[in-house]
Amino acid sequence: MVNRRTVLSAAGLLLALLLPPLATALGKPDLVTLGTQIAIYAIAAASLDLLIGYTGLSSFGHAAFFGLGGYTVGILAFHAAGEPIFGLLPGATEAWIVWPLAILTAATAALAIGALSLRTEGVSFIMITLAFAEMFFFLFVSLKTYGGDDGLGFRRRSGLPGIAPRDDVAFYYICLAALAAVLFLFSRLVRSRFGQVLQGIRQNPRRMAAIGLSTYRYKLAAFTIAGAGAGLSGALHANLLRFVSPDMLHWTMSGDFMIMVVLGGAGSLVGPVIGAAAMVLLQSWLAQWTEHWMIVMGPILVLVVLFARRGILGWLR
Amino acid sequence: MTLLLEQMLNGVQFGVMLFLLAAGLTLVFGVMGLINLAHSSLYMIGAFAAAWAGAHGWSFPLALLAGAGAAALTGIAIEVAVLKRLYQRDHMDQVLATFGMILFFNEAMAMLFGRQPLMATVPGFLSGSVEIIPGVPYPLYRLAIIAVGIAVAALLYVLISHTRAGMLVRAGATHRDMVRALGVDIGLLTTGVFALGAALAGLAGAMTGPLLSVQVGMGDRILITTFVVIVVGGIGSVRGALAGSMLVGMVDTLARAYLPGMLKTVMVATEADAIGAGLSSMAIFILMAAVLLIRPRGLFPAHG
């Protein structure tokens, strides 16, 4: 059965690599944007899987880090075009400055939120992560300088040397490469000692504590890394749309990321990628069909939870 | 001073609303171990049913009853059809399934009533205001909400602490299998508790109608505030829900009323308005963070 999975992965990778020429051949250039969207969401979903699937932490606030990454890009671009921040720091549009800063911002917020929320567990943890994400949502709604409710648009994507900022195909490959890098990093991470401890925490936190490990620190480290991943995803998403808005931090966004993880199959890293693809494709397909697509999406979700707990990946196996 | 009194009454009134929601949510969690996001849908359904009934000439008490009844019936339906299967599952599964239900109910309401907000009116006999203390007129309708809230809290106390059904609920929360082994129909008990929680959520929605607009998704934001209440109060405890509701209702209302004004004394007015609005909507989350630092299990944890 390993073979079948390898074949499917190879086919998926080939499809991802050949998507732009295929889209041109089919006369549907929109597919490239759809593919970019999938790659970006997959990064956020894979980082959430680190928490849900590996560490057993049901975080319901992942959109906060996604949004913070996005707003870092948006706000720096805003200041690059206008006045410096607080009249001191200039804005920036170069990817090599902006993207690491977005990751750092999201990771710092995750460290702070995680430090507080990890004092509890189970249902309280779900509610608290949701509540803190909502707090950041309100923060950006109230920041009128950066557009408040309406969001903040900016003119061009983060600059990378040698790549035209308006080139959608190049941007697709950048996002794909980012996804590949994240997946590679995470797959190394979960096989390392650190990753083994995380999985031990999921299976039996008391035993991990009994053998002398501070589970709190490991969980906090995982939470911060996952936040960093969502920050990168948010930065890329802001670049895709050249627009950021509080919607990025809306609580339904956190719910969507959770769905991607569980729909694809938690605890596998590949699962969330499949989940992200399924979610984006299903949404765009249902939305073509009826404006009330959520009335179909909701029951699908209930059915998946009731009857297909291991997600699409479990069903492929 | 009179303004402060008025704002504090507003805080109590908001707290009462939160209590109606939090009590049901925390009871359901305490007895069944279920985290139910679709509680917000029950609140919305209550509001829509009451607004519809009001628009079709039903009297106000009947409209309230319609709101609570519609929510209770919907609650029973989803409990029997789906949620019963989720009691023994992961919280993660419960969150996802009930999140799916929210998507469904929001869209269903949009299809039935449209996306334009409905307006419910304050009934004639409750419009106008009274001077509770000379010089402080206060809307009668808000006072009525506070009265209903106090009545519900008292009823819940009697029901849970002094009746046989309440005894079973308390026993079910701590020793579920033992209660089953003693021959109690646990299925009936859980459905009953769920219907009670749903009816309270529907009642809250129906009473909110005349204060805010009735629209799709109206329950989602207040659901998150209710979560803050439960975390602050201590999960699974009705006493904690009451204390948390009052605290959160008061902090939220007072922060919104006074924070922008206080900031104006130290900075430029336009900036103070913007930052004040942001800070005051963040106030309850800061309160939650503070409670977590001091008492991670909330102010009144359910067991021990």
- Domain chopping of chain A, boundaries: 32-258
Residue A114: enclosing H or E segment and its boundaries? helix A95-117
* pLDDT mean over A65-73: 94
Residue range A131-156, pLDDT digits in tens: 889 889 988 988 888 888 888 888 77
Residue B263 CB-half CA count within 13 A: 19
DSSP B117: P
Which residue is associated with the tokens 């179909």?
A296
Q: Is B97 on the interface with A (CB under 8 A)?
A: yes
Residue B45 burial (CB count, 10 A): 27
The sign one gets for the Cα dihedral B233, B239, B243, B244 is positive
Q: pLDDT tens, B39-54?
A: 999 999 999 999 999 8
Percent of chain A with pLDDT over 90: 43
B106 vs B57, residue with greater confidence: B106
The pLDDT of B127-132, averaged and rounded, is 77
Predicted confidence band of residue A317 (pLDDT cuts 50, 70, 90): low
B96: number of CA atoms within 13 Å, CB side? 29
> Which positions in chain A touch B85 (Cβ < 8 Å)?
306
pLDDT of A249 reads 92
pLDDT at residue B195, rounded to an integer? 94
CB A39 within 8 A of CB A274: no
Contacts of A33 (CB under 8 A, 6+ apart): A168, A240
> Could you tell me the fold of the domain covering B2-117+140-294?
ABC transporter involved in vitamin B12 uptake, BtuC (1.10.3470)
As a whole number of angstroms, the distance between CA A219 and CA B159 comes to 41
Residue closest to A49 by CA, chosen among B92, B67, B170? B92
Q: State how far Cα B145 lies from the chain centre.
A: 13
Cα–Cα distance measured from residue A229 to residue A44, given in angstroms and rounded to the nearest whole number: 6
Beta-carbon separation of A124 and B95 below 8 A:
no
Closest CA to B51 of B220, B217, B205: B205
At B182 the pLDDT is: 84
| Helix H or strand E segment including B37 | none
Q: How do residues B149-179 score in pLDDT, each as one tens digit?
A: 899 889 988 888 888 888 888 887 778 788 8
* Residue corresponding to tokens 């950066």: A146
Chain A residues bordering chain B (beta-carbon distance below 8 Å): 52, 58, 60, 116-117, 119-120, 122-124, 126-128, 130-132, 134-135, 138-139, 141-145, 251-252, 255, 258-259, 262, 292, 294-295, 297-302, 304-306, 309
A34-48, A139-153, A182-196, B9-23: least confidently modelled range: A139-153
User: For chain A, what percent of residues have pLDDT higher than 70?
Assistant: 97
Identify which of A64, A91, A82 has the alpha carbon closest to the alpha carbon of residue A234: A64
DSSP state of A85: B
The answer to which of A165-169, A228-232, B65-69, B72-76 has the lowest mean pLDDT is A165-169
User: Has residue B304 got a pLDDT over 50?
Assistant: no
Amino acid B93 reads: D
Q: Predicted confidence band at A44 (pLDDT cuts at 50, 70, 90)?
A: very high
Using a CB-CB cut-off of 8 Å, the residues of chain B touching A123 are 29, 35, 91, 235
Interface predicted TM-score (ipTM) of this complex, two decimals: 0.86
Domain-wise residue ranges, chain B: 2-117+140-294
- Of the listed ranges A59-73, B163-177, B239-253, the one predicted with least confidence: B163-177
**For strand A243-244 and strand B129-133, is the pairing parallel, antiparallel, or unpaired?**
unpaired
Q: What is the mean pLDDT of residues A302-315?
A: 80
* For residues B191-216, average pLDDT: 90
> Would you state the pLDDT for residue B131?
76
Could you tell me the CA-to-CA distances from A134 to A46, B94, B288 in Å, in that order? 22, 20, 12
Q: What is the mean pLDDT of residues A166-186?
A: 91
A197-209 confidence digits (pLDDT tens): 999 999 988 898 8
Residue A206 exposed, middle or buried by CB count within 10 Å (0-12, 13-18, 19+): exposed
Determine contact, residues A245/A147, Cβ cutoff 8 Å. Answer: yes
Measure the CA–CA gap between B26 and A136, rounded to whole angstroms: 25
Question: CB B274: neighbour CB atoms within 10 A?
Answer: 17
| Residues A59 and A261: beta-carbon distance below 8 Å | no
Task: Closest CB to B231: pick one of A128, A144, A301.
Answer: A128
* DSSP summary character for residue A54: I
What are the tens digits of pLDDT across the range B257-281?
Answer: 888 778 777 777 777 777 777 788 8
